[in-house]
Structure 1
């Protein structure tokens, strides 16, 4: 069998050729894939009843949150959610004691 230079299916004939990266498995360009993936993630979050909240924090606080999350083996968002829940419960308790 002759070696066809355009043939990329016959792997054994091209064993010495190194091809970079993973084979292309998705016909969409990377930017379009990212948009589709983000849209699907938002749909999954909505089905779970999750809402998105964004906030900006000082870099020192950001590093502290990262360290605490790593120490507790949770994600930063899980840690922030736990802190917020505890704070809301504390405020709710304080408000109910006043009334």
Structure 2
């Protein structure tokens, strides 16, 4: 059986292949957030990434979360309103780390 990859994962994977500075920071931060056992969102990841370090496309954030979900390391637990200015208060998922 073939598992289809979420389209945003392509943007996340591209960051690794182009040797982006963003991808290692994003992975380290999401790992730290998942280990806390507390809910977190993409806004938390954005705030923790060093100033000026951005992915080549904002879709990489969605791909980051989809990839970690696919690996079973995080799971969705609800929704929140984004505080990131570019999101204009849009709805975003809340996540929590799993016990894997």
> For the pair shown, which has the larger CA radius of gyration, 1 or 2?
1
Is TM > 0.5 for Structure 1 vs Structure 2? no
Q: Which has the higher contact order (CA 8 A, sep 6+)?
A: 2
Larger fraction in strand: 2
Larger fraction in helix: 1
Q: TM-score, normalised by structure 2?
A: 0.27
Q: TM-score, normalised by structure 1?
A: 0.27
